[in-house]
Amino acid sequence: MEFSRLNYLSSVLVFFISAFFCPITVTPLGINYGQIANNLPSPNDVIPLVKSLGASKIKLYDADPRVLKAFANSGVEIMVGLGNEYLSKMQDPDKAREWVKSNVQAYLPATKVTAIFVGNEVLTFNDTSLSDNLLPAMQSVHQAVVDLGLDKQVTVTTTHSLAVLETSYPPSSGVFRKDLVGCITPILNFHAKTGSPFLINAYPYFAFKADPKQVPLDFVLFQPNQGIVDPETNLHYDNMLFAQIDAVYSALTAVGYKKLSVHISETGWPSKGDENEAGATPENAKKYNGNLIKLISQKKGTPMRPSCDLNIYVFALFNENMKPGPTSERNYGLFKPDGTPVYSLGFTTNTAVGNTSISGADGSSPTNSSGSLPPTTNSSSSGYLSISSAVTTKLVQMVPIAALDDLVFDRDLAKKMVLGHMAIVAKHVKDHLILLKMLALFVLSTRLL
Ligand SMILES: *[C@@H]1O[C@H](CO)[C@@H](O)[C@H](O)[C@H]1NC(C)=O
Ligand SMILES: *[C@@H]1O[C@H](CO)[C@@H](O)[C@H](O)[C@H]1NC(C)=O
Ligand SMILES: *[C@@H]1O[C@H](CO)[C@@H](O)[C@H](O)[C@H]1NC(C)=O
Ligand SMILES: *[C@@H]1O[C@H](CO)[C@@H](O)[C@H](O)[C@H]1NC(C)=O
C-alpha cells in the first residue's frame, strides 16, 4: 500500500517534472494543409492521406468548416489560423468571441481543435500598423478562449519567419533583430503567461538555394556529413534545421525567455523549381522530408534541447497550383492533388493513428482514391504568404558562409566532433542527475510524513 502510493506519487512527480522541462506529446509529426488550389480532394478523402504519414496533427491557414467537419472523430489534432487580414478586427472582444465560438467551439469536442494561430509572419513585413495589432489581437482571441471556458484545451499563438533573427550562426549567437526586440518581448511574455509555444517557419532550402556552391547539400538534407561544431558551446550539429532551431532558443534565452518551447510551424523542400532554383528535385525533397520524418518519429531533440521532442509541421500536404511566385512555391507537397505521392518517402511509416504506408514501391496511392477524388470548389483560404516572398532577403545571412566553410572543412574535425558528442552526453547525465536528486528528496519527504 505504502509502496504503491509512493510509486504513484513518484510517477506523478516524474510526469510533472518532464512536463515542465518539455511538454509531452504523443506523435509529434504535424503537416500543413494549405489549400491555395482549385483541384484538391474533398477533406474526407484527405484523412487517410494524413494518417498514412503517421501524422497526428494538421495545421490549416483558416478554419475551413468542411475540413473541421470532416476531421471530426478522426483523432487528428488541428491548429486553425486567423489570417493577417483579421488582426485589426479581432481586437474587438465581441468579434473575437464570435469567431472563436463559431470556428472553434462549434466543432469541439468531436473535432480536436487544439490551437489558434493569430497572424502569419506578421513581424517581418516591417509594417508597423500590422505589427502593432498583433499582440492585442492575440490577447483578445485568448480572452475569448478563456471566456468560453476553452483555455485548457486551446492555445493561442502566432507564427514567425526565421528572419525575425538578426544572427543565427553559430546557433549560440542567435539573437532577435534589434528593431523587433521591443515588440517581440511582450509577445514572449504572452506565451509564458498563457503556456503557448513560440512558432517559427524555417527553411534550410532557402539557404541552399541562395548559395548552392557553398552550402553543403548533405548538411541541409539530414544526410551523413561531418557537420559543424558551435565554437561557443562545443555542440555538434549535423544538420542545418537543428542549428536554426537552436539559434531561436539562443535568441529567446538572450531576452530572458529560456523556458519557452519552440515549435516549427513550417519546414519543407520543393520537388520542382525554376531553372535558377537549385536543389528543387524529387530526390532532394524525398531526402529532406523522409529523413526529417524519421528524426521526428525517433523523438530526437536538438543539441541544445536533447530531451525535448521535435514539434514540427512539415510543409505541405499538397502541391498547391494557385500559389503565386516561382515554380517551387507550387511544389512543396508530399501528395499530388489526385492523392498519389509526389515521391516515395522511402520508408513505411509507423503510425500512431493510421496503418497504411505511402511508400509502396510503385509509389501508388495508399487509398487508390485517385480516380474518385472530385475536384473541390475553390478554397476559402485566402492566402498565407508565399513562402519565399517574406524570407529570401534575409536567408542569405543565416549561415555566414565563410564561417561554415571553416568549420565544415576543419582538419581538426574529429576532435571537435568527439568534444561535441561529449558535451551532449554530459548534458544528458546532468539532466538525469537533477531528476534523481529531486526524486530522492521527494521519497525522503514522503517517508517523513
Ligand atoms: C525589414 O527590415 C529589416 C531591418 O531593417 C530589413 O533587414 C529587411 O530587409 C526588411 N524586410 C522587408 C521585407 O522589407
Ligand atoms: C495494419 O496493416 C496490416 C497489413 O495490412 C494488417 O495486417 C494489420 O491488421 C493492420 N493493423 C491494424 C491495427 O489495422
Ligand atoms: C484505382 O481506382 C481507379 C478509379 O476508381 C481505378 O480505375 C483503378 O483501376 C484503381 N486501381 C487499382 C490498383 O485498384
Ligand atoms: C476557381 O479559380 C479559378 C482560377 O482563378 C477560376 O477560373 C474559377 O472560376 C474558380 N472557380 C470557382 C468555383 O470559384
Query: 166 — phi, psi (to 5°)?
Result: -80, -45
Relative to the alpha carbon of 354, which ligand is closest? 2
121 in active site: yes
356 CA to centre of ligand 2 in angstroms? 8
Residues in the chain: 449
Q: Where are the domains of the chain?
A: 27-448
Query: Is residue 433 very low, low, confident or very high in pLDDT (cuts 50, 70, 90)?
Result: low
Mean pLDDT of 362-376: 32
pLDDT score for 170: 96
171 CA to centre of ligand 2 in angstroms? 43
77 in active site: no
Residues 138, 190 contacting (CB under 8 angstroms):
yes
Q: How do residues 20-69 score in pLDDT, each as one tens digit?
A: 445 444 458 999 999 999 999 999 999 999 999 999 999 999 999 999 99
From atom 7 of ligand 3, which residue's Cα is the shortest distance away? 371
As beta bridge partners, residue 155 has 115
Q: What is the residue-averaged pLDDT of the chain?
A: 81
Cα–Cα dist 117/137, whole Å = 10
From atom 13 of ligand 1, which residue's Cα is the shortest distance away? 125
Is 361 a residue whose pLDDT tops 50? Answer: no
Identify which has the larger pLDDT, 420 or 327.
327
Query: 302 — phi, psi (to 5°)?
Result: -85, 165
Q: How do residues 287-330 score in pLDDT, each as one tens digit?
A: 999 999 999 988 889 999 999 989 999 999 999 999 999 999 99
244 CA to centre of ligand 2 in angstroms? 38
Cα–Cα dist 270/161, whole Å = 18
Counting Cβ atoms within 10 Å, is residue 74 exposed (0-12), middle (13-18) or buried (19+)? Answer: buried
Q: Which atom of ligand 3 is nearest to the CA of 364?
A: 13
The cell for 8 is 504513484
Output the CA torsion 221→222→223→228 (10° steps): 110
Query: 279 — phi, psi (to 5°)?
Result: 90, -10
SS3 call for 24: coil
In the set 2, 85, 98, 121, the catalytic residue is 121
pLDDT score for 220: 98
pLDDT score for 8: 54
In the set 77, 266, 277, 320, the catalytic residue is 266
Contacts of 187 (CB under 8 A, 6+ apart): 134, 135, 138, 158
H/E stretch holding 314: strand 312-314
pLDDT score for 166: 97
From atom 12 of ligand 3, which residue's Cα is the shortest distance away? 368
Q: Which residues line ligand 1 (CB under 6 A)?
A: 126, 179, 393
Is 389 a residue whose pLDDT tops 50? Answer: no
Relative to the alpha carbon of 397, which ligand is closest? 1
Relative to the alpha carbon of 123, which ligand is closest? 1
- The CATH class that applies to domain 27-448 reads alpha beta
